[in-house]
C-alpha cells in the first residue's frame, strides 16, 4: 500500500516537474537561503509553535534536500532509493497513527520554508492535509517602498491582533479593511471565539470559491473574500446556507473578475450624442414607459443635495411626459435601503438611481439579485461591474467660483466650507483655490469642514474675517437661508450672494436616459474588457454651470464668461501647468494637464489653502457611511 502511494506521489512530482520546466521556472523546491536579503537587512523573531497552512509551505531552508522534491513537494527520486523507503515509512505511520511531531520552518513574507521535516510535509501534502504544526522562526526584512513589502508589514500589524496566517491580499490596505469588515477597531485583538468563527467562514467561502474556478483568477482568495463580505456583511455570510452562499458567489463572479483589472474604471467623459426617435425606443423595448425610481438619503426640503436631484427628477418627467414615469423614496438609510430597492423592483421600476455614495453597496447587491434592472449610483471612482456610477465635474464650476471670489477678496482672505473629504471634494477645493490665485496671486483660502467634531464654524469665520465665503452649493428650501454659493457680509450686516454653482441633474438624467433610448447604453456592456463604468460629465455636457449675481462687476462677469468658454471647449483645464501643493511640487511641466484619474483621487491641497484633510476619527458620526464608501485614500510615498 505504501509503495502504491509512493508511486502515485512520484507521478505527481514528475508531472509537476515537467510542467514547471515547460514554463521556464525552477522545477524543484525553492530555497530560502537563495531568496532572503543579505545579513543585516533582516531580523529574526521566534513565533513558537504555529499551525502552518500546508499550501503556504513552498520550499526548504537550505539546498540540502530541495532537489529530492518537485516544486509541489512531491518526490522525484526512484522507488528503490533510501529516500523512497523513508517516505513510505512515514506514509504508513500517517495512515496508522497520524503524524503529530512538529516540523521546523522559517516564515518569510508569509511563505514557509522547511528546515526539518521535508518528508513529513510531502506526505501530508500527498494526503491532502490542511495544515501541519511547526516551530517557526519569522524572518522580517527591512521596510521598503515596494508593494509586497508594504503588504507584508500591514500583515505584521494585523497578525498582532489576529494571529491568522492563512489569508493574503494583493492590494495595499486590505488587512486594515478586513479588520474593519469583521467589526473590529484598528488594532483590536481577536478572541479565540473570533478566530474560530473567522476560520469557519473563510474556509467555507474559499472551498466554494475555488470549486467554481477561483484558482483561474489572477487574485488571491483573500481578495475575493474581502470583496464578498464587504458587499454582503460578515455576520450575514456566516448565517447563509451552503446553497445560498454558492449562489451568491456565482452571482458575484464579475465582481471577482473586476478585481484583476489594474485600470478598473472606464470613464465616460462626454454623453453619447447619437439620437434616435423615441418611437424607435418604444417599439424596440416592448414597453410603453420607462419606470424610474430615485432613492434619496434625505428629503428635498432638508437637503440641498437631495433638492438638486429632485429638480432633476421633475426635469425628466417634463422632458419625457409620455415615455417616463418616476417615483422617489426619501430618508433612505442603511436599515431601510434594501427594502426600498426591493419595493422599487416589485413595483416595476426598470431603472433606479441611488443618489449618494453611501448607497453604493446596497445598489450592487440589488443589481446582482435583479440583473434585468439597471441601477446607477451617484458616486465617483467607485469600482463595481454590476452597477454604473455617475457624477459631475464640479471642479470646473468651482474654478470659476474661485476666480469670482479672488476678484472680490479685498483683504485676500477667503473661506471654503466643505462637507466630506471624499473623491471629488478635494478637487473642488483645489480648483477653487487655483481660480482665486489666478486673478489674485495673494489670495488665501481658509478651509473649514462642516462635519468636524467640536468645531464652531461661525467662530472660525469670525476669526478669519474673510472677504468672501464659499458655502453649500445651493439653498435648502425649508431653511430659506442665503448661506449658499459665494457670499459676503456687507458693512451694514446684510448678506449678499455673488454666485452659485449649478448641478443641472435634469440635463444629466435626460442624457443618460437617451443613451438607453437610442440603444448606446448596451454598447458599453458589450465591450470586451471588464472595467466598471463611470459617467463623469462637465460643463461641455451642460450638466455643470455657474450662475452669477447682478451684483458682480461687469469685468468679473466677462472674465467668468471667458473662462467658462475655454473650459467648455476643452481649451483649458483648471489643473494644467505647474501645480504646487502645501508641501511639494505636484507637477512641474507647464504643458501638461492632470489626468482625470489624478483629479478624481487627489489627496493633496493647493499651496494657498490654509487647512488640512481630516481623518475619519475627526469627523462627526454622520460622515462615517460616506467616508466608508468614498473617503480619500492617502497615496503611499
pLDDT at 529: 58
Q: Per-residue pLDDT for 634 more than 70?
A: no
Q: Per-residue pLDDT for 264 more than 90?
A: no
Q: Per-residue pLDDT for 352 more than 50?
A: yes
Q: Which H or E run contains 364?
A: helix 360-369
Number of helices and strands in the chain (H, E): 22, 22
pLDDT at 373: 95
Nearest by Cα to 433 from 590, 441, 482, 246: 441
pLDDT at 128: 93
pLDDT at 624: 83
pLDDT at 288: 57
Cα(334)–Cα(624) distance, integer angstroms: 12
Q: Per-residue pLDDT for 512 more than 70?
A: yes
User: What is the CB neighbour count within 10 angstroms for residue 210?
Assistant: 14
pLDDT at 95: 87
pLDDT at 281: 47
* Listed range (25-34, 260-269, 618-627) with the worst mean pLDDT: 260-269
Query: Tens digits of per-residue pLDDT, 207-240?
Result: 999 999 999 999 999 999 999 999 999 999 999 9
Residue 543 dihedral angles phi and psi, to the nearest 5°: -100, -5
Q: Per-residue pLDDT for 637 more than 50?
A: no
Query: Tens digits of per-residue pLDDT, 289-339?
Result: 899 999 999 999 989 899 999 999 999 999 999 999 999 999 999 999 999
Cα(168)–Cα(222) distance, integer angstroms: 5
DSSP-derived pairing of the beta strands 444-449 and 468-470:
unpaired
pLDDT band at 284 (very low <50, low <70, confident <90, very high): very low
* Listed range (260-269, 354-363, 570-579) with the worst mean pLDDT: 260-269
Cα(337)–Cα(354) distance, integer angstroms: 10
Average pLDDT of span 16-42: 92
Torsion of CA 611, 614, 620, 625, to 10 degrees: 130
Cα(298)–Cα(450) distance, integer angstroms: 17
pLDDT band at 511 (very low <50, low <70, confident <90, very high): very high
Cα(60)–Cα(66) distance, integer angstroms: 6
pLDDT at 315: 97
- Length of the chain equals 637
Q: Per-residue pLDDT for 410 more than 80?
A: yes
pLDDT at 635: 63
Query: Tens digits of per-residue pLDDT, 61-104?
Result: 998 878 899 999 999 999 889 999 999 999 999 888 888 889 99
Mean per-residue pLDDT over the chain, rounded: 91
Q: Per-residue pLDDT for 539 more than 80?
A: yes
Query: Tens digits of per-residue pLDDT, 456-502?
Result: 998 999 999 999 999 988 877 666 666 889 999 877 668 899 999 99
Nearest by Cα to 360 from 30, 115, 571, 627: 627
Amino acid at each position: 500500500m505504501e509503495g502504491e502511494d509512493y508511486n502515485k506521489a512520484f507521478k505527481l512530482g514528475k508531472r509537476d516537474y515537467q510542467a514547471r520546466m515547460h514554463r521556464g521556472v525552477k522545477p524543484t523546491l525553492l530555497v530560502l537561503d537563495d531568496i532572503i536579503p543579505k545579513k543585516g537587512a533582516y531580523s529574526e523573531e521566534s513565533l513558537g509553535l504555529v499551525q502552518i497552512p500546508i499550501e503556504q509551505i513552498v520550499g526548504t531552508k537550505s539546498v540540502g534536500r530541495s532537489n529530492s522534491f518537485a516544486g509541489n513537494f512531491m518526490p522525484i527520486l526512484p522507488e528503490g532509493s533510501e529516500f523512497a523507503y523513508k517516505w513510505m515509512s512515514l506514509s504508513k505511520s500517517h495512515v496508522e497513527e497520524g503524524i503529530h511531531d512538529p516540523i521546523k520552518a522559517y516564515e518569510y513574507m508569509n511563505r514557509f520554508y522547511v528546515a526539518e521535516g521535508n518528508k513529513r510535509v510531502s506526505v501530508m501534502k500527498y494526503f491532502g492535509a490542511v495544515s501541519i504544526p511547526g516551530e517557526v522562526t519569522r524572518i522580517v526584512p527591512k521596510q521598503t517602498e515596494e508593494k509586497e513589502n508594504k503588504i507584508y508589514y500591514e500583515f505584521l500589524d494585523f497578525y498582532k491582533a489576529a494571529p491568522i496566517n492563512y489569508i493574503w491580499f494583493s492590494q495595499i490596505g486590505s488587512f486594515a479593511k478586513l479588520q474593519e469588515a469583521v467589526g473590529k477597531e484598528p488594532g483590536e485583538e481577536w478572541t479565540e471565539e473570533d478566530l474560530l468563527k473567522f476560520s469557519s467562514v473563510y474556509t467555507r467561502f474559499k472551498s466554494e470559491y475555488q470549486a467554481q474556478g477561483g484558482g483561474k483568477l489572477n487574485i488571491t482568495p483573500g481578495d475575493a473574500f474581502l470583496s464578498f463580505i464587504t458587499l454582503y456583511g460578515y455576520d450575514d455570510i456566516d448565517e447563509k446556507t451552503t446553497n445560498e452562499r454558492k449562489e451568491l458567489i456565482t452571482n458575484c463572479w464579475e465582481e471577482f473578475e473586476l478585481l484583476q483589472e489594474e485600470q478598473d474604471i472606464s470613464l465616460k467623459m462626454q454623453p453619447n450624442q447619437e439620437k434616435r426617435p423615441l418611437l424607435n425606443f418604444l417599439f424596440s423595448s416592448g414597453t410603453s414607459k420607462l419606470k424610474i425610481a430615485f432613492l434619496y438619503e434625505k428629503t428635498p426640503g432638508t437637503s440641498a443635495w437631495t433638492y438638486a436631484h429632485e429638480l432633476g427628477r421633475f426635469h425628466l418627467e417634463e422632458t419625457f411626459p409620455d415615455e417616463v414615469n418616476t417615483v422617489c423614496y426619501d430618508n433612505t438609510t442603511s436599515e431601510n435601503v434594501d427594502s426600498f430597492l426591493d419595493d422599487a423592483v416589485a413595483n416595476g421600476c426598470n431603472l433606479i438611481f441611488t443618489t449618494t455614495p453611501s448607497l453604493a453597496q446596497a445598489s450592487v447587491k440589488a443589481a446582482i439579485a435583479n440583473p434585468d434592472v439597471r441601477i446607477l449610483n451617484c458616486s465617483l471612482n467607485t469600482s463595481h461591474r454590476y452597477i454604473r456610477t455617475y457624477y459631475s465635474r464640479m471642479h470646473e464650476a468651482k474654478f470659476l467660483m474661485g476666480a469670482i471670489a479672488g476678484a472680490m477678496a479685498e483683504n485676500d482672505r477667503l473661506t471654503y466650507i466643505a462637507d466630506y473629504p471624499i473623491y471629488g471634494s478635494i478637487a473642488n477645493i483645489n480648483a477653487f483655490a487655483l481660480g482665486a490665485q489666478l486673478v489674485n496671486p495673494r489670495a488665501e483660502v481658509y478651509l473649514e469642514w462642516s462635519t468636524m467634531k467640536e468645531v464652531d464654524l461661525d467662530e472660525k469665520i469670525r476669526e478669519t474675517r474673510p472677504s468672501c465665503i464659499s458655502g453649500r452649493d445651493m439653498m435648502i428650501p425649508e431653511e430659506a437661508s442665503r448661506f449658499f454659493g459665494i457670499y459676503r457680509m456687507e458693512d451694514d450686516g446684510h448678506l449678499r450672494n455673488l454666485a452659485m454653482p449649478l448641478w443641472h441633474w435634469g440635463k444629466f438624467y435626460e442624457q443618460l436616459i437617451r443613451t438607453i433610448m437610442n440603444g448606446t447604453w448596451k454598447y458599453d456592456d458589450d465591450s470586451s474588457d471588464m472595467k466598471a463604468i463611470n459617467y463623469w460629465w462637465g460643463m461641455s455636457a451642460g450638466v455643470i454651470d455657474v450662475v452669477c449675481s447682478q451684483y458682480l462687476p461687469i469685468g468679473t462677469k466677462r472674465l467668468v464668461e471667458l473662462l467658462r468658454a475655454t473650459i467648455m471647449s476643452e481649451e483649458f483645464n483648471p489643473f494644467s501647468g505647474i501645480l504646487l501643493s502645501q508641501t511639494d511640487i505636484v507637477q512641474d511641466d507647464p504643458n501638461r494637464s492632470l489626468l482625470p484619474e489624478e483629479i478624481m483621487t487627489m489627496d493633496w491641497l493647493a499651496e494657498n489653502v490654509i487647512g488640512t484633510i481630516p481623518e475619519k476619527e475627526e469627523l462627526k458620526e454622520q460622515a462615517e457611511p460616506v467616508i466608508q464608501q468614498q473617503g480619500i485614500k492617502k497615496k503611499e510615498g
